[in-house]
Amino acid sequence: MAARHVWGRARGSRYCPACLAASGGRWRLSWRLGWSFVCLDHRLLLVDACPRCSRMPRHFPATTRHPLTPGRCHSPSENDAPPTRCCQPFEEVPALTLSARRLVIAAQELIEKTISSGQSDFGVYQDYPQPSLALFGDLRALAGILLRRVPDTGRLAGFVAPKIPALHHQPLPEKRRSFDPVKETRPGRLAPRRAATAALAVTAALHILQQSDVHAAGAALRRLISGTDGTIPLKVGLQWAHTSPVFDEIHLATLAPRLGGPDQLRFRTADQLPRKPGRSAATRVAERARKTPTQLWPAWSARLSPLDGALSRTIRPALSCSLLLIGGTGDFTTTARLLHAPVEDRPGAHMTFRLTKRGHFHGISLGLLALADYLDQEGSPIDYTRRRTLDYRDLLPLDTWTQLCRNIDFEAGGVRRHQFARALLFERLSGLPATLAPAAYAPGTTELRTMLRTFETDLTPALMSQLEEHAAEFLTRQGIRDEPLSWQPPTDIVRDLALPGCDLRDIDPGMLHRLIRDDCLTTAQAARRLGVSHDAVRFVLQEQPAPPAAAKSAKWERGATVRRARTALPRDKFAHFYLDEYRSLKWIAEHAGVNEEAIKVPVREYGMKRDGKATRWRQIGLDWLREQRAAGRTCRELAEETGFSLGMISYLGRRHDLPGRRPAPKG
């Protein structure tokens, strides 16, 4: 008999005394199967030994020289010389009677039904039917695990009649001949010699396989084999021969609680059908890396990230790396290298530990599994591997930024606002974090990174439209014409999952815009007011920027004031006042009819610099100043005319002993 399929033995057979008595000693072939341990006709536990010689019947083949007597033991007698047959009538051997409601009877009936139909479609197989030989391979493996790994067989006693465990624990007879079978070193490798042992193991194994799904089956197996300290005596790397894929799924579901976060993602333990990575795992992961940004898409990041305690700078790259772990064989370091992500193995594993401790990791795993399957099947219109390798040093140069701000009457601001706009476009185009941008505009300090996270409050619909137009032109210059500017997989595929984050579509943009513009809240304050994460507010403002606040009047409108300053002071005229005549900003502002703050904008836009305060007096002709003082003009009048401060005119008069009024001597 093929032991790997029928769990058989090379020799020997069990028997039913009542069947032998009714048939005149005719032997049933089904008794040779390791799965046969109960007679369904008479509800008797099959007998596995002769009570007289203690040997398993039919251990020796029949010959014409020594023909068999039907219904009697033909094993050699113990004391006769030369050996003769035992000749014990089997119909007189007592057997254990079982109740019709016992699980042992139901287990034997299920096995007979599966053999007859040739297919197993019950329990864990109901959604994925398997051939009967696959079921017997799974039964053989499970029975071997239970016989070897259950620390206390009393856990199996609840599945069988009370007398069956006692028969199982009875010691085997001492070896009488050299041809008698020796004691097995690996229980379950072959069919047990005793029907009670087979009934005990197979009934418990079928109880596991009759669960509703593989996770319930894994939990049932885990309860049976776990030690008193909760340890599970199984390993992930164990290889099982002649089993079905369903058994491998049960094996992984059993080990799931003991696995770390990365291993749970590799073996998809949160999925309905856990499985080991296949031979093409490396190729599939490399292809998925091409479809995945270094920072997970904003909508997915907001959906999977907890509402508090998770920074976008750390969790978004970690989520992308976790996405590549699914069905792969690498670790965080390997996936981070594929994505150019600033994540290492230890911080990534630590983050999964924190998410597991807070009870979020299972839901996040389900979301990542759905996303990985979607990318593997549907793909992505953007090649993020190519996007990550583009040269972004010329992205949004200063002249372009200044011009597009003028086109929409938006205040260009200083150097930092320009850097933040470049960093924002860099993140949207490349999928990389802003810290990996070119050094000219990468936020290298904690202060700059914090300020960048509030830049979304400065965005307006017109400015975002201008930035997107420039980004499209940038991609065209880089030779990318067949890809959208940005793209995100639909989040509807996880709408039925209990995820720790929020859906960006649930945030009211109108209310958010009022909080930003009317109440002048920061993005963090608006997030607390709305009860969502800080990053969720930022992502909404990037897609739907808040319109500019309505000004009270044109006199107080900052944009209009700056426009008047630009009109009144072209570059040449401003350079004459500011550099040649060394006029103060206050004087220039009064000359142009605007406030001093509006004059600071052309200073930054024109990039004009002049010497420090220590050399300003050289811009005043001393001869002219001496003449004016001799004519009786006061220091205040000269300060107003020259644009210098009253203190500076007084200082020059005292230093060079210029004529003029002197304070009256005291006394």
**Into how many domains does the chain fold?**
5
Between residues 559 and 217, the one the model is more confident about:
217
614-640: average pLDDT: 74
Between residues 250 and 595, the one the model is more confident about:
250
Task: Tell me whether residue 605 is in a domain.
Answer: yes
Bridge partners (DSSP) listed for residue 595: none
- Say what percent of the chain tops pLDDT 70: 87
Task: Tell me whether residue 545 is in a domain.
Answer: no
Identify whether the C-beta of residue 245 lies closer than 8 Å to the C-beta of residue 275: yes
Q: Distance (Å, rounded) from C-alpha 123 to C-alpha 246?
A: 11
Name the CA radius of gyration of the chain, rounded: 43
The whole-number pLDDT of residue 552 equals 41
Examine the domain organization and report whether 257 and 292 are in the same domain: no
Examine the domain organization and report whether 156 and 189 are in the same domain: yes
Examine the domain organization and report whether 648 and 575 are in the same domain: no
Encoding tokens for residue 470? 């420039």
Q: Computed from CA positions of residues 530, 534, 536, 539, in that sequence, does the dihedral angle turn out positive or negative?
A: positive
Question: What number of CA atoms fall less than 13 Å from residue 65's CA on the CB side?
Answer: 3
Examine the domain organization and report whether 128 and 216 are in the same domain: yes
Identify whether the C-beta of residue 568 lies closer than 8 Å to the C-beta of residue 588: no
Task: Tell me whether residue 94 is in a domain.
Answer: no
Encoding tokens for residue 409? 């009457």
Task: Tell me whether residue 402 is in a domain.
Answer: yes
Examine the domain organization and report whether 227 and 120 are in the same domain: yes
What are 349-363's pLDDT values in tens digits? 777 778 888 888 999
Task: Tell me whether residue 35 is in a domain.
Answer: no
189-207 exposure pattern, b = at least 16 Cβ within 10 A, e = fewer: ebbbbbbbbbbbbbbbbbb
Residue 208, Cβ density class (10 Å: 0-12 exposed, 13-18 middle, ≥19 buried): buried
Task: Tell me whether residue 119 is in a domain.
Answer: yes
Between residues 102 and 63, the one the model is more confident about:
102
The whole-number pLDDT of residue 314 equals 82
Examine the domain organization and report whether 369 and 304 are in the same domain: yes
Domain endpoint, select from 477, 494, 524: 477
Examine the domain organization and report whether 374 and 324 are in the same domain: yes
Q: Computed from CA positions of residues 603, 606, 609, 610, in that sequence, does the dihedral angle turn out positive or negative?
A: negative
Omega cis (within 30) before 76: no
314-341: average pLDDT: 90
What are 430-489's pLDDT values in tens digits? 999 999 999 999 998 888 888 888 899 999 999 999 999 999 999 999 999 999 999 999
What are 45-57's pLDDT values in tens digits? 999 888 888 888 8
What are 376-431's pLDDT values in tens digits? 999 999 999 999 999 999 999 999 999 999 888 888 888 899 999 999 999 999 99
Examine the domain organization and report whether 308 and 362 are in the same domain: yes
Q: Distance (Å, rounded) from C-alpha 470 to C-alpha 157?
A: 74
- Whether the per-residue pLDDT at 72 is higher than 80: the answer is yes
Examine the domain organization and report whether 314 and 445 are in the same domain: no
The whole-number pLDDT of residue 73 equals 84
Residue 582 falls in which region: left (phi positive, over 0), alpha (psi -120 to 50) or beta: left
Give the range of the structural domain holding residue 326, as residue numbers without chain letter. Answer: 281-383
Examine the domain organization and report whether 604 and 636 are in the same domain: no
Averaged confidence pLDDT in the chain: 84
Domain endpoint, select from 261, 293, 316: 261
Task: Tell me whether residue 529 is in a domain.
Answer: no
Task: Tell me whether residue 552 is in a domain.
Answer: no
Q: Distance (Å, rounded) from C-alpha 148 to C-alpha 187?
A: 6
This prediction's pTM: 0.74
Domain endpoint, select from 446, 477, 508: 477
Examine the domain organization and report whether 295 and 219 are in the same domain: no
458-490 exposure pattern, b = at least 16 Cβ within 10 A, e = fewer: bbbebbbebbeebbeebbeebebeeeebbebbe
Q: Pairing between strand 130-131 and 119-120?
A: antiparallel
- Distance of alpha carbon 385 from the chain centroid: 20
Q: Distance (Å, rounded) from C-alpha 449 to C-alpha 427?
A: 13
Examine the domain organization and report whether 108 and 248 are in the same domain: yes
